[in-house]
Amino acid sequence: MLQVNNPSTGEKIQDLNEDNVDSVRLKFERAKAAQKDWFHVPYLQRAEIIKNFSQKLRENLENLALTLTQEMGKPITQSRHEIQGTLHRIDFFLENTLEMIKDRTVFKTAMVEEKISQEPLGTLANISAWNYPYFVGSNVFVPALLTGNAVLYKPSEFASLSGLRIEKLLISAGVPSDIFTTLIGSASVGKALLNTPIDGVFFTGSFATGSQIKKQLADRMIKTQFELGGKDPIYICEDVDINLTAPEIADGVFYNTGQSCCSVERIYVHESSYNSFIENFMQAVNSFVMGDPMKEDTYLGPITRKAHLDYLENQVKDAQSKGARLLCGGQRVDRPGYFFQPTVFVNVNHSMQLMKEETFGPIIGIQKVKNDEEALHWMNDTHYGLTASIYTNNKKRAISILSEMNTGTVYWNCCDRVSPRLPWSGRNHSGMGTTLSTAGIETFLQPKAWHLKTLKGH
Ligand code: NAD
């Protein structure tokens, strides 16, 4: 049994039947057997089913948001926002997939035709994280289904109720039940899934798990993609209006209680604006309402995983032992549930875990820098490579710095932003492969090269 808890109270919500090696194998075999028929369903029919799914998400939005908030503690306004954003992503996939799957003749004479067709990869494992189950799930299963793949979806053990809701809506929208199947459980179920002869693995989660899975799959010639963590930096130049930017950056740090892969995790501020930035940033942080995530005005909810509270406390202790100065927070909140205070450190440096290892919670370090060279040096001083951001009035300066960042995404005067039209990809410990954009559709296809020759004399 998998026990689902409410992180804002620590109380049990319900028990779920867990999958096991046998049920995983059976679900895989059914999916494998059904996949070819799904591929042969005309594309427009598959697209109609996904449109129905989108409509059902819209109709059930409030209820789905409540479940999400209940099981992972995301404040209710942010849960609604996630599901609304998912609708836009689905629209993008629906608008762009047909063009990607069309046959293309690339050469033709009287005797010879060279053509490229696109085929699905087959039966795929979609192993997902809990922090944005609708976003990170749909980035994979929507284009995978549209392009004719079968999907074995393992939601995180901390977002299983949402995973089951997604499955129910997809099936009621018309996806055959063997084509999208949810597997319930934690790491052991994920491992069992990887032990089946799947045709591809699309993983979203931590670097630690991602690298373990990559090793496990080393001798399998199948497509693998990893969307992993980040230690995303931001640099505030001296030429911006700090009153306006500081609150926006505080939101980039603390949205979803800091539990976003692209949360701002490190702040570098030009020395001329440093004092004013700290003052304005702290004003914004002090205005955040922490509490019951079901309430409309709550901005900071609990930490989803209880065990992560220890991890956050260790980062605090490590930073303090190395000379960091605490401006606010620093500990768990004395109330039921898994709440951690919004925590701001200054006097930080790169000997501290806080500035090097993913935090994934409401803690931030702010470091003063002398100039652009110093900022760039520290921003790139990480194993991660998801996003990087700069705030300046000078576009040329921004582009020059962002071009030097080894990250999959760069932001000028914005942060913590994802667009379905742009590729989402990490570098180094942030992963490999792409979701979203047309590249995030193509990734679920394999090209077939056709050499077609008419016989001489015919
Ligand atoms: P996690 O690595 O603990 O778990 C991810 C998933 O893998 C879960 O479903 C889990 O049950 C499963 N799993 C765990 N061990 C496994 C194993 N050995 N074999 C197969 N499956 C296994 O990560 P998490 O705590 O769920 O998610 C948080 C992490 O995800 C953070 O690092 C965050 O930055 C990252 N993330 C990245 C993106 C992105 O787009 N780059 C998006 C969301 C989250």
Concatenate the DSSP letters of all residues of 49-103 into one string. Answer: HHHHHHHHHHHTHHHHHHHHHHHH---HHHHHHHHHHHHHHHHHHHHHHHHHHS-
Kindly report the number of other CB atoms within 10 A of residue 436's CB atom: 22
Position 458 pLDDT exceeds 90: no
> Ligand 1: does its nearest atom lie under 6 Å from the Cβ of 360?
yes
- Kindly state the DSSP code that residue 258 receives in the 8-state scheme: G
| Cα 206 to averaged position of ligand 1 atoms, centre (Å) | 5
| Cα 418 to averaged position of ligand 1 atoms, centre (Å) | 19
> Ligand 1: does its nearest atom lie under 6 Å from the Cβ of 224?
no
- pLDDT confidence of residue 8: 98
Cut 0.95: pTM above it: yes
User: pLDDT tens digits for 422-455?
Assistant: 999 999 999 999 999 999 999 999 999 999 999 9
Which pair of structure tokens corresponds to residue 243? 């009153």
- Rounded to the nearest integer, the mean pLDDT of the chain is 98
| Cα 124 to averaged position of ligand 1 atoms, centre (Å) | 17
> Ligand 1: does its nearest atom lie under 6 Å from the Cβ of 165?
no
| Cα 144 to averaged position of ligand 1 atoms, centre (Å) | 19
**pLDDT band per the 50, 70, 90 thresholds, residue 456:** confident
Residue nearest to atom 15 of ligand 1 (CA): 187
> Ligand 1: does its nearest atom lie under 6 Å from the Cβ of 156?
yes
194, 173 in Cβ contact below 8 A?
no
Position 117 pLDDT exceeds 80: yes
Q: Given the CA of residue 139, which atom of ligand 1 is nearest to it?
A: 40
User: pLDDT tens digits for 377-399?
Assistant: 999 999 999 999 999 999 999 99
> Ligand 1: does its nearest atom lie under 6 Å from the Cβ of 358?
yes
> Ligand 1: does its nearest atom lie under 6 Å from the Cβ of 229?
yes
> Ligand 1: does its nearest atom lie under 6 Å from the Cβ of 186?
yes
User: pLDDT tens digits for 67-85?
Assistant: 999 999 999 999 999 999 9
> Ligand 1: does its nearest atom lie under 6 Å from the Cβ of 54?
no
Average pLDDT over residues 338-346: 98
Average pLDDT over residues 231-237: 98
- CA dist., res. 25 & res. 196, Å (int): 6
**pLDDT band per the 50, 70, 90 thresholds, residue 224:** very high
Element (H, E) at 251: helix 242-254
Q: Given the CA of residue 305, which atom of ligand 1 is nearest to it?
A: 25
Angle of CA points 394, 395, 399, to nearest 5°: 125
Phi-psi label, residue 217: left if phi above 0, alpha if psi -120 to 50, beta otherwise: alpha
User: pLDDT tens digits for 162-219?
Assistant: 999 999 999 999 999 999 999 999 999 999 999 999 999 999 999 999 999 999 999 9
| Cα 114 to averaged position of ligand 1 atoms, centre (Å) | 42
b/e 243-268 (16+ beta carbons within 10 angstroms → b): eebbbebbebbbbbbbbbbbbbbbbb
> Ligand 1: does its nearest atom lie under 6 Å from the Cβ of 139?
no
Q: Given the CA of residue 129, which atom of ligand 1 is nearest to it?
A: 26
Average pLDDT over residues 294-304: 98
Q: Given the CA of residue 156, which atom of ligand 1 is nearest to it?
A: 9
